[in-house]
Structure 1
Amino acid sequence: MERPRILVVGAGFAGVECVRRLERRLAPAEADIALVTPNSYQLYLPLLPQVASGVLTPQSVAVSLRRSSRYRTRIIPGGAVGVDTRAKVCVIRKITGELTDQAYDYLVLAPGSITRTFDIPGLTEHARGMKTLAEATYLRDHVISQLDLADASEDEAERASRLCFVVVGGGYAGTETAACLQRLTHHAVKRYPRLDHRQIRWHLIDLAPTLMPELGDPLGRTALEVLRRRGIEVSLGVSVAKAGPTEVTLTDGRVLPSRTLIWTAGVAASPLIGTLGAETVRGRLLVTPEMTVPGAAGVFALGDAAAVPDLAAGQEGAICPPTAQHALRQGRTLADNLIATLRHQPLRPYVHKDLGLVVDLGGTDAVSKPLGVPLRGLPAQAVARGYHWSALRTNVAKTRVLTNWLLNAVAGDDFVRMGLRASKPPTLREFEHTDAYLTPDQLRARTASRPAAG
């Protein structure tokens, strides 16, 4: 008999953790495992702001999937752009652009999320996100180039717009991004004799009434005080009304002269979910507590793209937040359930109590709430970096990150660009490839000739 074919989509925390557990607990004769991902690495997403600020190198947060020869999973370099659960086929757009059909017996959907955007004029054309390694690397080049161009300019209006930076999103990602990049410009401007540090303006914008509400009011206020002490102008209850190449208009009527708009206002499930024609909850794929997809035989889903019931919350209808700690633990539980399915054993529901959040604001500033205990300053910084360091999957990645941290603390930054700045900057869609997915009609036309899978 042929071995069952397990296809895992996505190499984030959830997908990789699932694959590694399958490899450890399934005998080679029990199943063939394949992983669909455009890049052969797992991105440690929480450390992207430190890549953008130059504290960490890009390679240090890109944990290779091919490094160890003992792993037997086949890596398919591409992105899943459509799923036909009737025919049990996943359509993959390879990195060459060619479409190919991959049949499966069991499908694990962990495609993650994309940057959530709104119908704001100019947003998708002029904003940059913080979801990919390319975006973080580009942002560092872009911010330093604005200092270079402002230094070279004799026009005061142009200089003001180049030295004004706007970050939208007062959650975890936006707060860390604003804090880390502000430290970058604060230290870099000392190397520009023609620029005054008072000319540099950082704005953090969020529609919510409080900063990082998930941390609670006391720690949220602490983070707000840290940012304002550094000179970051925090505007709450405000959003962007219009974005242009040289200015950003806010909903309170203010017009900020700026050539840098960083958009981190939440995430949305991968567009792949829309191709299944299955029921969703707040845009995420509806799944059972065991992470199976109702009505789709052999299909499991987890992570940011799935509405996994949060049984530990004690509230009816609660779903797990899209965090790394949930993704990791869901990956392990789903792998065990998939193995149980193969061996005709009962499945178990996913239950995990949230362990809290850690927020690294750079330097000695941080706020953390591990296991509900509020921490500030150096103790919070130690917990934040200790958590991230321990969560890195390989010893090589841990060594790189620790070395980067030590080197940056001792020697600082050289503030050099990699030459990524283009005359036509990539858009949000181009960075995250959100235009690559098939429509339901295109998917049906492609798989119509295939019989329904038994």
Structure 2
Amino acid sequence: MARPKILVVGAGFAGVSCIRRLERRLAPEEADIALVTPYSYQLYLPLLPQVASGILTPQSVALSLRRNTKHRTKIMPGGAIGVDTKSKICVTRMITGQIVDEPYDYIVVAPGSITRTFAIPGLTEYGRGMKTLAEAAYIRDHVISQLDLADASQDEDERASRLQFVVVGGGYAGTETAACLQRLTSNAVKRYPRLDPRLIKWHLIDIAPRLMPELGENLGRSAMEVLQRRGIEVSLGVSIAEAGIDKVTFTDGRVLPCRTLIWTAGVVASPLVATLGAETVRGRLAVTAEMTLPGFDGVFALGDAAAVPDLAKGDGAVCPPTAQHAMRQGRVAAENVISSMRGRPLQPYVHKDLGLVVDLGGKDAVSKPLGIELRGLPAQAVARGYHWSALRTNVAKVRVLTNWMINAAAGDDFVRIGFLSQKPAKLEDFEYTDVYLSPEQVREHTASITARGR
């Protein structure tokens, strides 16, 4: 009798956590395990702002899957672009462009999320995301290049547009990105004697009435005070009306000369979700508390791609798309896959949020571990301690700790490596949002494969 095949889609927090538990709890002869991911690493997403600002090297937050797993999982270097739940086939586009049809008995759908955008003129052409390692590396190069170009320019209008930076999104990603990059430019400008530091302006805007509302009013206000003290202009209740190559128009009518628009205004589930043809909740798969997809045999979904009921909160709440929940959902999903194989009852996912941490760079941070509000160095110690302990490989821990120590002792460096310097950097190019099939295309594809097989 053939061993059942478990296919995990996505190497984020949820997918890798699931793989690790499956490998630990299943004997090699019990099942074959495969992982579909375009990259050979798990990205530690919360530290991306520190990569963008040069505090950490890109390799520090890219945790090798070969180190992070026990080597028995087959890693397929590609991205899932469609799932036919009736034929139990996952259509995968390999990094070579080849289309491969991967059969499964059980599938764990954890492809994560992509940057949420709106129909704002110019946004997809001129907005830069912060969801991938490549985007963080690009933004670092781009920001430093603006200083270089402004320093070399004789045109005052050009110089003004290159020295204004706009970050959209007052959540964790946007706030940390603005804080870390502003710190980088304020230190870097000391090496540019021809540039007036007062000309460098950072703007953080959000349509919401408060900054990081999840932190609570007091800590949110403390974070905003830190940003404003550094000279970052925070505008709430405001968004982008239009983006251009050298200017940005706000919804309140202001027009800023600007060549750097960083868009972090939320995320949506991966487009892979739509290929299943299942019920969704705000774009996320509507799953049970056990993370099964009702009406679909052998399908589990979790992480950013699934609206997992938050039983700890109740009242119909769903778990927020955070790493904290994703890691724990991965472990429970793995146990439920195993229980399904062995004919045992499944267990619901229950986890009470342990708190939040926000690293604002330098000695500044705000944190709320277990409901305790912290600011400054104590909050910084908690934030970095949490992130460091969450890294799954010793190599990553050593690299991150070393980078932090070097940055603390030697300060920032301002070298750009020329990453994609001659190419437009669109969101769809970095996040590959245009490669997915429709449900109809998935069915047509698998039907043609079946017909050829006959």
Give the TM interval when normalised to the shorter protein. over 0.9
CA shift, 1:440, in A, is 2.0
CA shift, 1:424, in A, is 3.0
Aligned AA (1:30): E
Separation of aligned partners in 2, 1:74 and 1:184? 41
Separation of aligned partners in 1, 2:333 and 2:395? 27
CA shift, 1:20, in A, is 0.5
Matches within 5 A, 1:172-251: 172-251=172-251
Separation of aligned partners in 1, 2:443 and 2:232? 50
- Contact 1:249–1:256 (CA under 8 A) maintained in structure 2: yes
- Contact 1:107–1:298 (CA under 8 A) maintained in structure 2: yes
Separation of aligned partners in 2, 1:67 and 1:383? 26
CA shift, 1:412, in A, is 1.1
Worse-matched range after superposition: 240-249 or 67-76: 67-76
Separation of aligned partners in 1, 2:348 and 2:174? 33
- Contact 2:240–2:250 (CA under 8 A) maintained in structure 1: yes
CA shift, 1:421, in A, is 4.1
Q: Percent identity?
A: 78
Partner of residue 415, structure 2: 416
Partner of residue 425, structure 1: 424
Q: Does 1:122 align with 2:122?
A: yes
Partner of residue 371, structure 1: 370
Separation of aligned partners in 2, 1:26 and 1:444? 32
The change in CA–CA distance for 1:427 and 1:68 in structure 2 (over 3 A counts) is closer
- Contact 2:23–2:70 (CA under 8 A) maintained in structure 1: no
Partner of residue 36, structure 1: 36
Partner of residue 76, structure 1: 76
Instruction: Note the residue ranges of structure 1 that are not aligned, 5 or more in a row.
Output: none
Backbone CA RMSD of aligned residues:
1.1
Partner of residue 22, structure 1: 22
Separation of aligned partners in 2, 1:357 and 1:25? 30
Separation of aligned partners in 2, 1:365 and 1:79? 38
Separation of aligned partners in 2, 1:192 and 1:271? 44
Partner of residue 113, structure 1: 113
Partner of residue 96, structure 1: 96
CA shift, 1:70, in A, is 3.7
The change in CA–CA distance for 1:198 and 1:69 in structure 2 (over 3 A counts) is closer
Q: Could you state the TM-score of these two structures normalised by the residue count of structure 1?
A: 0.98
Separation of aligned partners in 2, 1:314 and 1:449? 45
Separation of aligned partners in 2, 1:360 and 1:106? 39
Matches within 5 A, 1:293-312: 293-312=293-312
- Contact 2:248–2:257 (CA under 8 A) maintained in structure 1: yes
Separation of aligned partners in 2, 1:67 and 1:18? 15
Q: Could you state the TM-score of these two structures normalised by the residue count of structure 2?
A: 0.98
Matches within 5 A, 1:164-175: 164-175=164-175
Aligned AA (1:379): P
* Aligned partner of residue 313 in structure 1, secondary structure: coil
Separation of aligned partners in 1, 2:133 and 2:370? 30
**Deviation digits for residues 270-297 of structure 1 (CA, Å, limit 9, x no counterpart):** 0000001000001100100000001110
Separation of aligned partners in 2, 1:405 and 1:398? 11
The change in CA–CA distance for 1:70 and 1:326 in structure 2 (over 3 A counts) is closer
Separation of aligned partners in 2, 1:118 and 1:68? 36
The change in CA–CA distance for 1:451 and 1:289 in structure 2 (over 3 A counts) is farther
Separation of aligned partners in 2, 1:160 and 1:441? 50
Count of residues paired in the alignment: 451
- Contact 1:270–1:305 (CA under 8 A) maintained in structure 2: yes
The change in CA–CA distance for 1:314 and 1:169 in structure 2 (over 3 A counts) is same
